[in-house]
Amino acid sequence: MTIPLINQCRFTAIDFESAGASRGLTDHPVQIGLATWSIENGHGNAFTSYLFTDQPIQWSARKIHGIGPEQLTDAPSLLSLWPELKNRLARAVVVAHGKGTEKRFLRAFPGHGFKPWIDTLLLARAAWPDLPDHSLGAVCQSHHLTEEIQAIVPAKFWHDALFDAVASLVLLTHLIKTHDLETQPLDSLLHPDTSVWHKSRRN
């Protein structure tokens, strides 16, 4: 099997905002955002939607993302968006910052086959282990990327699903360019070495 180079790949980022977990209930997504980037074509192909859930939105979650039940009244279910997600994620390198949440919500589609996955949280820890905070907003702000994200997604901000999806792509782009990885195999992004970060945490 031929391993593609980074400059040959299409990267599609996905982000979910959730209702927040409450006792005895499973957490549900309430917003989804997807966006695409490649070295050849740049940023584009953005998609976002609120998602219907019959679970209450926890106060702690609403305080973060500002989404309330009034925005979900006529929203589609996640399952109904399967054709949209399949079209955007199939044959793409899937990107997320802290991919655990995104992979968990996509289990609604058993056997979907979306892969490979790149986790920009792990990449940031490997590339800049000395940063005190590797959350998406903190890393982007430390590298002065926020204005670039806002230019791509105007009138939105952190903890909007589309803004965060685009932010993970802008961060990925910055990392690829600053580390001169454009012509490297995709594998160089799939298994980042976070040993230095882990060592600093232990110390």
Please report the pLDDT score of residue 100 as a whole number: 93
Architecture per CATH, domain 6-202, reads as 2-Layer Sandwich (3.30)
Q: How far is CA 156 from the centre of its chain?
A: 15
Domain-wise residue ranges, the chain: 6-202
Closest CA to 86 of 34, 30, 137: 34
Q: What is the pTM of this model?
A: 0.95
Whether the predicted pLDDT of 2 surpasses 80: no
Give per-residue pLDDT as tens, 7-27. Answer: 999 999 999 999 997 766 678
**The dihedral sign for the CA sequence 113, 114, 118, 120:** negative
Mean of pLDDT values over 131-158:
97
What does the alpha-carbon distance between residue 111 and residue 109 come to, in Å, rounded to a whole number? 6
Averaged pLDDT of the chain? 94
Please report, for the chain, how many H helices and E strands are present, in that order.
Answer: 9, 5
What backbone phi and psi angles, to 5 degrees, belong to 47?
Answer: -145, 135
Please report the pLDDT score of residue 23 as a whole number: 67
Give per-residue pLDDT as tens, 26-40. Answer: 789 999 999 999 999
